[in-house]
Every structure is written in C-alpha cells, then in structure tokens.
C-alpha cells in the first residue's frame, strides 16, 4: 500500500472539525519539515479575524485528543486556541510562484462504515474526502522536494472549509503574495466519472452563514402574557418572512435550526436560529443579504424583540482562469485521468474561490478541479467513502502541472 493511502487512513482515524485540526496540521508539519519545507503555523497565519470558532471546551478537548494521538507538543502549543492550519514554502533560485491549497477538516457526522481505519472520535467523520486532499498535499510535498525545479511553491493546508470559514483568512496571508498560479480541487462529488479530471467548474455559489439571537422577555404565560415579549413567536414569524425573500432562481435561503423557550407555561424569552443565504452572482447575493437584515429590523418593530445577527462563515465565487484550466487538462492523460472539458456545475459553495479571486486581482491565474472517482455514498453521508486509487493520480497530476508552471516564463 502506498504511503499516501497510509496517510489518508491515519487522517481518517482522527477526524477534526474546523479550527480543531491539531492532529492533521501536526502530521503535515512533521512530514514536511523532514522534506526541507519552511513551515508557518499558528497565529502568524491569522492576519484577519476568525468567524465561527468553536467554544473553548471543544477546542481543548480536540487538542487533548491530538496529544493522545501522538501529535508533536511543540506544534500543539503554537496552535492553542484553535489557530490550526499550515503554510509551507520552498524557494529555489528565481522563477514563478505556484500556490496549492488542500483542506484539512472533517464533517460533524457519526460514521457508519465498518473499516479498519474507521473514525475513533464519536460524532466526527471525514465524510467529504478532505483526508484524501491532505494526504495528497503531503505526498506532493515529498515528490516536489525530490525533483528539480526553480521558483517558489506555497502549500496551504487550510482549516475550516466546512461552513466556509478558513478560506477567507488563509487566502489573505502575506506569505502568498506574488502567486502566479493557484491550484486546488475536490475528489469525488460526482459518482459517474471514475478517473475523470474536470479541468474547470461553474455555478459555485456566493454564501453567508448567519447565527441569529432573538431576545424577548419571559413571564408567566397565563397570568400576564402581555407583560412579556414572545421571542419564539417573533422567531417563527421571522422564519416565514425570510423564506419569502428569494425571488428568483439565482438566490436560495435556508433556516437550518430554530431553538427557543424554556418551559410550557413560560413566554419564551430567547430564540436562536442558524440560517444561510446563497446567490449565484455577488449582486443577487448582496441584495438577498440586505433584505435579510431589513427583515430582522422589521421583526424588531413588529414584535418588540431585539435581534442580533452574527456572520459565522462566508464564501464567494470567482470563476477559474480558462487559460490555466486548458493547460491543466493537458496533464490529465499522463496522470491516468480522462480529461473532461465541460465545466462541472458545483451548485454548492467552496471557499477556495477566495484564493482564486485574490490571485486574479493580483494578475495571476487560478484553477479549481474536480477529480471524479467512485464514491460509496453521497458526501456528508455516514457511509461516505471513495476509491483510494484516485489519490496517486491526483499526486501525479499536481506534481506534473506544478513543474510545468514553474518552468513557464514568469508572468
């Protein structure tokens, strides 16, 4: 069995949710430091504020699990507080700069698969394949360290892709300045395209994740309900009004959770909601978010409640560069992949597009690929698994493409 599959299985056994990727980061850092990469980890990677950081006890429990699993204590100390993730750089003489991004985090799903590398942590599972992405990144690092090239390579091991929280932060790192080419991608996604490289994508969505708290006032429900302010009623009204907002097929909205109240005979004093908005264009999404805020203000006036609205994650869509995607397609066959020129319609959201957006603004080119392979169940399902044979092909593809880009004249 290849080292890459070994790595994937080790990562699969120790799944970690967004901003708790202590074991995964440390594993990548340990491997890459042996290969001569310069490592950057901890708070220096966080140049802008974080969204949706887990509560302190969750962070501490995850850190202790990583310690028990054998993570390097020096790495753990630098990541304390949830400053997970890694950027590794290697510079050899002068030449173009290529940045590749791999996501580290798992999903909050209880695994039902019965495999020897099953998740050891209840409630957490690599049900999206990011264990494969991280393993590919580590193996690519080893290949590149052994091959000749000149220029600069940045390998980004990004935390918190699920809930789209890490991409915005890591894409802004000053370490990535001067990137000429940016590459990232996802394995699986489609089940009918074994060993297929989709060299470009379309229809990824702009999205915002919102945490809402509705504050009212609780009193006895029968003695003097008029003296209370019913947060549950206001929240229910809010949900109904929010669902009226998407007015065309370009925008979507979902309220995923609503919890409220403390007892049957008590007017509910507080309600909490978790919602998300999506839009296929930035303009339509901005308009939806504006209407979202106005609806909250309207509910405050109608019910006398106070509503706080906190951003818990966000992603944009910035289309990949056609020239780079066409060049990438040329490397498919040698890596054992069939190239599919039709863009793959993503429909969901992905925070890698923050990197593409920045690189394009700074005059470089960015691409995002789908590596089609057999999946056993849909992504985020308790039975999710993928054909591990794709990993070696992804490593070969990224290695060849990176070296080709490094040998290109500097942009």
Residues that bind Zn ion (CB under 5 A): 128
Nearer to Zn ion, 29 or 315 (CB): 315
The set of residues, in sequence order, having a beta carbon less than 8 Å from that of 14 and lying 6+ positions away, is 23, 24, 65, 66, 69, 119, 120, 121
* Stretch (H or E) spanning 277: strand 270-279
3-class DSSP state for residue 254?
strand
Report, in Å, the least distance between residue 135 CB and Zn ion. 14
Nearer to Zn ion, 128 or 337 (CB): 128
Report, in Å, the least distance between residue 350 CB and Zn ion. 7
Report, in Å, the least distance between residue 375 CB and Zn ion. 12
19 backbone φψ class: left, alpha, beta (φ>0; ψ -120 to 50): left
Nearer to Zn ion, 124 or 128 (CB): 128
Report, in Å, the least distance between residue 338 CB and Zn ion. 22
Report, in Å, the least distance between residue 144 CB and Zn ion. 24
Helix extents (H) in 261-316 = 282-303
Nearer to Zn ion, 11 or 90 (CB): 11
Report, in Å, the least distance between residue 238 CB and Zn ion. 28
Q: Are 214 and 231 in contact (CB under 8 A)?
A: yes
Report, in Å, the least distance between residue 161 CB and Zn ion. 6
- State how far the Cα of 65 lies from the Cα of 67, in Å rounded to an integer: 5
Nearer to Zn ion, 128 or 238 (CB): 128
Nearer to Zn ion, 128 or 275 (CB): 128
Nearest-CB residue to Zn ion?
128
Q: Are 17 and 108 in contact (CB under 8 A)?
A: yes
Tokens of 363: 């005059």
What does DSSP say about strands 181-187 and 201-202: parallel, antiparallel, or unpaired?
A: unpaired
Nearer to Zn ion, 24 or 218 (CB): 24
The set of residues, in sequence order, having a beta carbon less than 8 Å from that of 15 and lying 6+ positions away, is 106, 107, 119, 121, 124, 125, 126, 131
Buried-state track 372-387, b at ≥16 Cβ within 10 A, e below 16: bbebeeebebeebbbe
Report, in Å, the least distance between residue 380 CB and Zn ion. 6
* Radius of gyration, CA atoms only, the chain: 23
Nearer to Zn ion, 237 or 350 (CB): 350
């Amino acid at each position: 069995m290849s080292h890459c599959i070994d790595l994937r299985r080790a990562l699969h056994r120790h799944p970690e949710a967004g901003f708790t990727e202590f074991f995964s980061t440390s594993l990548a850092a340990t491997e890459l430091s042996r290969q001569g990469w310069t490592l950057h980890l901890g708070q220096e990677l966080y140049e802008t504020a974080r969204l949706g950081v887990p509560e302190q006890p969750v962070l501490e429990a995850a850190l202790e699990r990583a310690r028990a699993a054998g993570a390097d204590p020096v790495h753990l100390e630098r990541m304390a507080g949830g400053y997970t993730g890694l950027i590794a750089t290697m510079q050899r003489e002068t030449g173009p700069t290529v940045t590749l991004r791999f996501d580290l985090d798992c999903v909050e799903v209880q695994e039902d698969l019965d495999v020897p590398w099953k998740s050891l942590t209840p409630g957490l599972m690599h049900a999206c394949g990011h264990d494969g992405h991280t393993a590919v990144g580590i193996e690519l690092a080893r290949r590149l360290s052994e091959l000749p090239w000149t220029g600069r390579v940045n390998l980004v091991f990004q935390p918190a892709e699920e809930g789209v929280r890490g991409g915005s932060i890591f894409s802004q790192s000053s370490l990535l300045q001067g990137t000429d080419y940016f590459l990232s991608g996802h394995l699986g996604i489609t089940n009918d395209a074994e060993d297929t490289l989709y060299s470009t994508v379309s229809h990824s969505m702009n999205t915002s994740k919102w945490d809402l708290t509705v504050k009212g006032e609780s009193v006895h429900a029968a003695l003097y309900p008029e003296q209370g302010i019913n947060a549950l009623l206001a929240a229910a009204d809010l949900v109904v009004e929010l669902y009226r907002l998407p007015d065309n097929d370009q925008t979507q909205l979902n309220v995923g959770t609503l919890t409220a109240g403390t007892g049957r005979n008590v007017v509910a004093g507080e309600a909490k909601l978790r919602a998300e908005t999506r839009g296929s264009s930035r303009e339509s999404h901005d308009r939806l978010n504006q209407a979202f805020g106005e609806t909250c203000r309207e509910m405050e006036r109608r019910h006398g409640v106070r509503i706080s609205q906190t951003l818990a994650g966000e992603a944009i869509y910035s289309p990949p560069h056609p020239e780079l995607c066409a060049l990438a397609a040329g490397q498919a066959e040698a890596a054992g992949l069939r190239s599919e020129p039709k863009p793959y319609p993503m429909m969901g959201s992905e925070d890698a597009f923050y990197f593409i957006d920045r690189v394009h603004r700074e005059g470089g080119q960015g691409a995002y690929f789908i590596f089609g392979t057999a999946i056993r169940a849909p992504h985020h399902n308790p039975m999710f698994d993928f054909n591990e044979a794709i990993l070696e092909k992804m490593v070969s593809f990224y290695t060849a493409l990176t070296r080709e880009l490094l040998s290109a004249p500097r942009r």
